[in-house]
Every structure is written in C-alpha cells, then in structure tokens.
Amino acid sequence: MADNKLRLCVLICLISIISSSSLIPSATTYVSSNIPDPFGKLSSSFYETRCPGALQIIKAAITSAVENDRRLGASLLRLHFHDCFVQGCDASVLLKDTPDFKGEQNARPNANSLRGYEIVEAVKALLEIRCPQVVSCADILAVAARDSVVALGGPFWLVPLGRRDSKTANLNAANSDLPSPFLDLKGLIDAFYKKGFSAEEMVALSGAHTIGKSKCAVYRSRIYNESNIDSDYKISLQATCPNIGNDNYLSPLDTTTPDTFDNGFYKALLYNKGLLHSDQQLYNGGYGSTDKQVSDYANNVALLGLDFANAMIKMGNLSPLTGNQGEIRKYCSNVNKV
C-alpha cells in the first residue's frame, strides 16, 4: 500500500516536472489528429511530423523513472515482449479487466508478475497533453522498452513506429503463447518458432534476462530438484527461497550484474548459474545446440548488443495494427468509449 502511494507520488512528480519542462511547448501547439498511416507500414520517423518531440518525452520520462527504480527498466522490456507475443504488438496487454471484459493481465505468466503499467499510463498522459490521440500505447511500449535498455547500459536501436492499439485482448493466447520457465530447450525453440523466430534469435532475445528479477515460486523447483546448478549458488538461493513459503521473494535473473544490460547473464550460464530452468537450458555443459552462441555472447558483448537489437526490431514487428486498423487509445488501460 505504502509502496503504491510512493509510486503514485513519484509518477505525479514526474508528470509535473516533465510537463513544466521545455519538452512540451504548450497543449495547443500540436493539434489533435488521429492521422492513419496511409501505407500501413512502420517507420522510425512516423511521429516526426505527427507529434514532434514525442520520442524525447518518452525518453525523459523513462530515463528518470528507471534511474529511480532500475528494475522498472526490466519490467518495461518484459511488457513489450508479453504484448508482442500475444496477438501482436498492439498494447492488448495494457487493457485492464472490467466486469464485461477479460484482458490478459490475469493470464498465468502475467498475474502478480508484470509491472510497469502505471509509468506507461503516466507517459501516455504526457503525450495526450502534447498531441491528443496521436501516439499509440503500442508504440509507447516499444520505445519505452528500447529506452529502458539504453538507460541500463544496453544497445540503442531505431524503433520502427506507427503501430495502433487493439480494441481486444486474448486471455487464452496469453496463457498458451508466452513461453513457460519450465520448458526444455526444444520447447523454447518451438515457442519462438511459432512466432517466426529462429533458435538463434530466441537465444539473443533471452539476453533480456541480464536485467530484472524472478519470484521464488518460479525458480523453486530448479534449486531443489535440478543437478545442473552451481552448488554455492543453489545454497544461497535456498536460504531465502524455502521449500514451502516466501513464494514472492525476488532474486536477480543475472546474479552478477542484475541492474546492467550486459552479457553477465550468458557468463553466468557457463557456470550453471542460470536462475530459471529455461535459462539454463540455453547452455548444457558445452554439448547443447545453443551452447556455442551462449559462449560467443559471454565473450563478446558487442555481438550480443547487435543481435539483441535486431531481434527486438523483429519482435516489435509482430502483427502490428496499422493504417485504419484498431484505434489510438486515450488511456492505455481502456479501449476508447464510443
């Protein structure tokens, strides 16, 4: 409760600081227009004429929020992934349940786990002041993911833009299409293949686990039942994640540099220090089909940066709504009222 109040207070401060800054000349400078993209294609210059300054507004808000709470950067990156893997990058993940609408937020991989909704809504509110109903929530998610990675020391990439927001969500697809942390390597490869990704791209995208945290309930079976785990690492995790209880206790996915986007995650895998069962599946003692790629990333952070950025651009291209499809929401958590 106190945590929520603090977060709200930080967001309100953030909005007032940024609103009063020169980033937003005046509420009337850029007139509202729900201009559809005539070509139905994404382009990194999409908002240059439609809402100049939009990307700077997002960047300023995200950078300051991530400085305040480094984990938020990880949470925003994950939000974009969980959006794109379920009916495409259309901000469906942001729609809240209502008495007559079931969204994706209570799907098994999302409930009590996804974070960052409030900051996305706060950024949307800033953009609504600047250019009402022009910048989509789906695009905010894509840019916020990139800006988060950059704020945590990772690679920069140009984000193709022009996605529109869905009027629907898909709870069943969220339950079936997001990969489970209990999958073996083949299951992981299959889950990404279904979305058009190669095994190599799956390994590169998994670099996202160089930041952020996971709950004891998710990694418990690994630290009590598996043998491909470093024994000191296992013992230290067992101290805070007992066989029963403390389900919500959080441990970093990258035990070495949890708040920095680097190659620490892959280095840890070489020493059997992957937190999730699925993460350690990427490296199997030198004998697995993805092992070489893991050691290449562990030895070459620039290669990881390049592959990760390219795979993120590809992920951001998953079935976007463009042109006249969908809508530009006024609030990210609800479809527009007709």
CA distances from 2 to 5, 7, 14, 111 (A): 5, 9, 18, 21
- Those residues whose C-beta lies under 8 Å from the C-beta of residue 277, and which sit 6 or more positions away, are 181, 182, 183, 219, 221, 222, 226
List the catalytic residue out of 82, 163, 220, 277.
82
Least distance (Å) from ligand HEM to the CB of residue 322?
22
**Sign of the C-alpha dihedral, residues 155, 105, 63, 332?**
positive
Span of 23-31, 166-174, 177-185, 239-247 interacting with ligand HEM by CB under 6 A: 177-185
Least distance (Å) from ligand HEM to the CB of residue 204?
9
| CA–CA distance, 304 with 134 (Å, rounded to integer) | 34
Give the per-residue contact string, 8-47, with ligand HEM (x = CB under 6 A; - = no).
----------------------------------------
| CA–CA distance, 172 with 37 (Å, rounded to integer) | 30
| CA–CA distance, 130 with 26 (Å, rounded to integer) | 7
Give the per-residue contact string, 264-293, with ligand HEM (x = CB under 6 A; - = no).
------------x-x---------------
80 is catalytic: no
Span of 2-10, 11-19, 176-184, 223-231 interacting with ligand HEM by CB under 6 A: 176-184
Span of 2-10, 72-80, 121-129, 169-177 interacting with ligand HEM by CB under 6 A: 72-80
Q: Which of 7, 50, 59, 115 binds ligand HEM (CB under 6 A)?
A: 115
Alpha helix positions (H), the chain: 2-20, 46-50, 54-68, 70-84, 117-130, 137-151, 171-177, 185-193, 199-205, 216-225, 231-240, 264-270, 277-280, 291-299, 301-316
* 215 sits near ligand HEM (criterion: CB under 6 A): yes
For residue 273 the two structure tokens come to 């220090």
Kindly tell me which of 24 and 149 has the beta carbon lying closer to ligand HEM: 149
* 71 sits near ligand HEM (criterion: CB under 6 A): yes
Q: Which of 135, 143, 188, 189 binds ligand HEM (CB under 6 A)?
A: 188
| CA–CA distance, 334 with 95 (Å, rounded to integer) | 5
Whether 182 contacts 200, CB under 8 Å: no
Span of 77-85, 93-101, 119-127, 158-166 interacting with ligand HEM by CB under 6 A: 77-85
**How many residues lie near ligand HEM (CB under 6 A)?**
25
Tokens 């089909």, located at residue: 289
Q: Which of 208, 229, 298, 335 binds ligand HEM (CB under 6 A)?
A: 208
104 marked among binding-site residues:
yes
Whether 47 contacts 109, CB under 8 Å: no
| CA–CA distance, 233 with 253 (Å, rounded to integer) | 12
Q: Is 67 exposed, middle or buried (0-12, 13-18, 19+ CB in 10 A)?
A: exposed
> Which residues are near ligand HEM by CB under 6 A?
71, 74-75, 77-78, 81, 113, 115, 179-181, 188, 202, 205-206, 208-209, 211-215, 218, 276, 278
User: Which residues are known binding-site members for Ca(2+)?
Assistant: 83, 86, 88, 90, 92, 104, 210, 254, 257, 262
State the binding site: 83, 86, 88, 90, 92, 104, 179, 209-210, 254, 257, 262
Which are the catalytic amino acids?
A: 82
